[in-house]
Amino acid sequence: MREKVRKTIAKFHMFPRGTKLVVGLSGGADSVALLHLLHGWQEGEDWHITAVHIHHGLRGREADEDARFAEDFCASLGIPCVVKEYDVAKEAKSRGLGEEETGRILRYAAFREAVGGEGCIAVAHHRKDQAETVLMRLCRGTGLTGLVGMSPVRGDICRPLLFCDREEIEQYCRENHLPWREDATNQQEKYTRNKLRLRVLPLLEEINPKAVEHISETAALLAGEEDFLEQQAEAFFAQVKLPSGVEEVCLSREKLKALHPAMQRRVLRKAMGTFLQADISQAQIAAMEELLEKETGKSRNFPEGIRAENRYEALILSRKRERQTAGFCYALPMDREILIPEAGIAVSLSFHEKKVEISGETCTNVFDYDKIKYTLFCRSRRAGDWIPLAQGRKKIKDLFIDEKIPRDWRAAYPLITMGEEVLWVPGLRASAAAGVDEQTVRRIWIRIRRVQE
């Protein structure tokens, strides 16, 4: 087993040399074996190990004895031990969650507090835990992502024992004369995971003695499929994404609808994940798919203040915030980039030639400098604004209507102006009065770059 764990750590690049490790130590055979293994490699890898034991406040004296066991075991290895005590039953009631889920939330919160944002968290999930997780998610309803089960590495959480059997873990403990504690609640069927462990898995192993191994292998196989599909989703997300404002993600409705439904769901999930911290449910994705088919102006609200809205040819996801209604006006000096926070852009002027481009992040245009008689400004729209055309002029208000610019975008839409005249409406129209021609001697390039808040 030692070599199997060593290879798992190396294969998934779990713990860099010199890293800080927080190891979850329940006192059971699996966490005892994990801590003992990592301790054995600690000096050679220059790891800095701390164990964290969680007292859930559920089992009275037995839980107190578990905490003392954890402290004593760590002392025998010369490893610091942190014991965190919670009233999980009380917390579960206040949060409106089950004790099992609340305990998990509190455990990982304690682990992350101990690691302090620098280092890795090692937990002792093994192959049977993986099988239980897959079955539990399958019973609750899940997609391919859920059937992958637990990943060997997810963020700062690492699972070095994920490909080990419970039997070989216990054998390792016996061979190395390691004591461990048995949690009596593991035999109580009031918890979902325990029901699967005590009832369902034994029945499946009657059908096939290698059922747990095969479920774990299937999860690993699906993990590879999932990784490939996520790479594809990333590429399609880039293709359907449109130029977006600050705190917004704009997607082409036409391109989204052209995607296979499975990939469309993945792209929508990725777009929502830009804002949402919580897990995104299938019901939320279904609501997004339904909205995609509705007419312009329709919208849906989601958790964490996220709003999705159809705006003509785009599906817009945004975080709810107060709209910017105050006007803005910034002078544009030469060869200096000016930040326009109200519009989420930066503007620069230059006499040096630049590629004329329009993309999701930048927009550049060139004008005849000798036709510009006034200082250039970047400002918001004012009543009566107009732009010269080849024949006549057009009001900016009418231009916005013709181009279907949403009403709530117009107050913060940046205009490049000279005097009372609009020189350029980025992305829409440039003034015919200052365009370059055969007589142009000096050119000026105006570049607009989108920035984050």
pLDDT tens, residue by residue, 91-111: 888 888 888 888 888 999 999
Q: Which architecture characterizes domain 2-224 according to CATH?
A: 3-Layer(aba) Sandwich (3.40)
What does the alpha-carbon distance between residue 89 and residue 106 come to, in Å, rounded to a whole number?
12
Distances (CA, A) of 317 to 268, 297, 300, 309, 448: 10, 13, 10, 7, 23
Instruction: Please enumerate in sequence order all residues whose Cβ is within 8 A of that of 122, keeping only pairs 6 or more positions apart, or say none.
Output: 14, 15, 21, 22, 23, 24, 34, 38, 158, 159, 160
Q: 329-450, superfamily in CATH? A: Phenylalanyl-trna Synthetase, Chain B, domain 3 (3.50.40.10)
Lowest model confidence (mean pLDDT) among 74-78, 208-212, 331-335, 359-363: 359-363
pLDDT, averaged across the chain = 87
* Per-residue pLDDT tens over the stretch 363-395: 889 999 999 988 899 999 998 999 999 888 999
**pLDDT given for residue 25 in this prediction:** 95
Predicted confidence at residue 90, as pLDDT, reads: 87
The identity of residue 102, as a single letter, is T
β-bridge mates for residue 154, sequence order: 157
Query: Would you tell me how many other CB atoms lie within 10 Å of the CB of residue 89?
Result: 14
**Residue 247 pLDDT > 80, yes or no?**
no
**Burial label, 77 (beta-carbon count in 10 A; 0-12, 13-18, 19+):** middle
Position 17 scores a pLDDT of 92
Q: What are phi and psi of 319, to 5 degrees?
A: -90, 130
Go through the chain and tell me how many residues it has.
Answer: 453
CATH topology of domain 243-319: 3.30.465
**Where does the pLDDT of residue 44 fall: very low under 50, low under 70, confident under 90, or very high at 90 and above?**
very high
Which residues are paired to 394 by β-bridges?
387
Helix (H) or strand (E) holding 324: none
297 backbone φψ class: left, alpha, beta (φ>0; ψ -120 to 50): left
pLDDT score of 359 more than 50: no
Is the per-residue pLDDT at 436 higher than 80?
yes
More confident residue, 67 or 324: 67
pLDDT (0 to 100) of residue 453: 46
Q: Return the structure tokens found at 261.
A: 């439904």
- Which segment, 183-192, 312-321, 327-336, is predicted with the most confidence on average? 327-336
Q: What is the pLDDT, as a whole number, of residue 283?
A: 83
* pLDDT value of residue 278: 59
Q: Cα dist. 419→3, 332, 375, 376 in Å?
A: 75, 13, 7, 8
Residue 360's pLDDT is what? 46
Position 452 scores a pLDDT of 52
Is the Cβ–Cβ distance between 47 and 41 less than 8 Å?
yes
Q: pLDDT tens-digit profile of 174-201?
A: 999 999 998 777 777 777 788 898 899 9
Tell which residue, 193, 24, 25, 198, has the closest CA to residue 98.
193
How do the domains of the chain map onto residue ranges? Answer: 2-224, 243-319, 329-450
Q: Comparing C-alpha atoms, which of 32, 242, 210 is closest to residue 128?
A: 210
For residues 29-47, average pLDDT: 95
Euclidean distance between CA atoms 140 and 136, whole angstroms: 6
How high is the pLDDT of residue 183? Answer: 76
